[in-house]
Amino acid sequence: MSTLEIKDLHVSIDTEQGTKEILKGVSLTIRTGETHAIMGPNGSGKSTLASTIAGHPRYNVTSGTITLDGEDVLAMSVDERARAGMFLAMQYPVEVPGVSMTNFLRTAKTAIDGEAPKLRTWTKDVKAAMAQLRIDADFTQRNVNEGFSGGEKKRVEILQLELFKPKFAILDETDSGLDVDALKVVSEGVNRAHAEGNMGTLLITHYTRILRYIKPDFVHVFVDGQVVEEGGPELADRLEEEGYDRYATGAGAATIAAADAAAQA
């Protein structure tokens, strides 16, 4: 049983116009076995939260804490975080030319486990996981994400999730750009990993569509860098019907003005 705890997190980025605060005090606690959905409109800071947890250098934490079973995650380097049990399924997985999938998967697994996986079982595990995600066997010979379609890249992210067995999985808009079939395949993968019972999931999404396949225990609505509403799965259903517009009134003046402008248009 593990706990990932985010407390009053403030995050900013450097832009050409100066420093811009994106997360304005986010608190969230995720435990093993739980699935939390973070939903919100574009630009609300959902992906920033995901990247910050993973340690992307672009995001500066100005205050607040992230701890994993009491350990200070913010003090860890990117690779230490992954070895501590965090996994970020990226929204835009990066192509790494010249590094084969086989080599990459084995190197990562070795780093995470602290020892090389046994070759025979490992090869079998990889094959089986790939088959379940309907990834062609020849992908192992291809370079990491190189020339993969958007859907293939997402499936390969989930392949890693299943193979690396993290304590916490953060899925950053894994559903975006997927057709229904791919969405099902990917969701099944997440559900399989979850069913092993040793993982907590933070599911970041703009749409409610994926929540038909992955059932969240908690739903948090993000607007303008803050959680504006929290609830159970029923909140997702409500969002599907009503959209995010009603949160505009509860948010800052700028948002209200924007909503007014939209209403007048």
Partner 1 sequence: MTDITTEKARIGAPSAQPFINGFTEEGESLSPLNAAESKSPLAGEAVKRHSHGGGVGVPDSSRAGRLTSYKLADFKPLTGMEEDWRFTPLKRLRGLHTEVLNGAAPSVSVTAPDNVIVETVGRDDRRIGSAAIPEDRVSANAWENFTEATVITVPAEVQADGEVSVLLTGQGTAASAQHVVIVAEKFSKSVVVLDHQGTAVVSENIEILVEDGAQLTVISLQEWNDDAVHASSQQAKLGRDAKFKHIVVSLGGDLVRVTPSARFTAPGAEAELFGLYFADAGQHLEQRLFVDHAVANCKSNVLYKGALQGRNAHTVWVGDVLIRKEAEGTDTYEANRNLVLTDGARADSVPNLEIETGLIAGAGHASATGRFDDQHLFYLMARGIPEEVARRLVVRGFLNEIIQKIKVPAIEERLTAAVERELAATNH
The binding site for partner 1 (CB under 8 A) comprises 54-57, 77-79, 81-83, 88, 90, 93-94, 96-99, 103-104, 107-108, 111-112, 143-144, 160, 164
209 near 241, Cβ under 8 Å? no
Distance, in Å, from the CA atom of 189 to the CA atom of 113, rounded to the nearest integer, reads: 21
Residue that the structure tokens 């067995």 belong to: 165
Six-digit token pair at 101? 């999938």
- Closer Cβ to partner 1, 39 or 159, answer by number: 159
Q: How many CB atoms lie within 10 A of CB 38?
A: 26
CA-CA distance, 239 to 44, in Å (whole number)? 15
CB-count exposure of residue 198 (10 Å: 0-12, 13-18, 19+): middle
- Nearest-CA neighbor of 134 among 203, 213, 188, 97? 188
Handedness of CA 94, 98, 102, 106 (dihedral sign): negative
Asked if residue 220 lies in contact with residue 190, where contact means CB atoms within 8 angstroms, the answer is: no
Q: Which is nearer to partner 1, 101 or 223 (CB)?
A: 101
Residue number, 105 or 223, with CB nearest to partner 1? 105
- Taking the least distance from each CB to partner 1, the nearer of 107 and 249 is 107
Considering beta carbons, is residue 70 or 97 the nearer one to partner 1? 97
Q: Which residue has the tokens 């939903």?
A: 39
Nearest CB to partner 1, comparing residues 13 and 108: 108
Spatial CB neighbours of 237, under 8 Å, sequence gap ≥ 6 = 208
Query: At its nearest, how many Å lie between partner 1 and the CB of residue 159?
Result: 12
Mutual angle of helices 150-164 and 119-132, in 10-degree steps: 140
Task: Between 95 and 245, name the residue whose CB sits nearer to partner 1.
Answer: 95
| SS3 at position 65 | strand
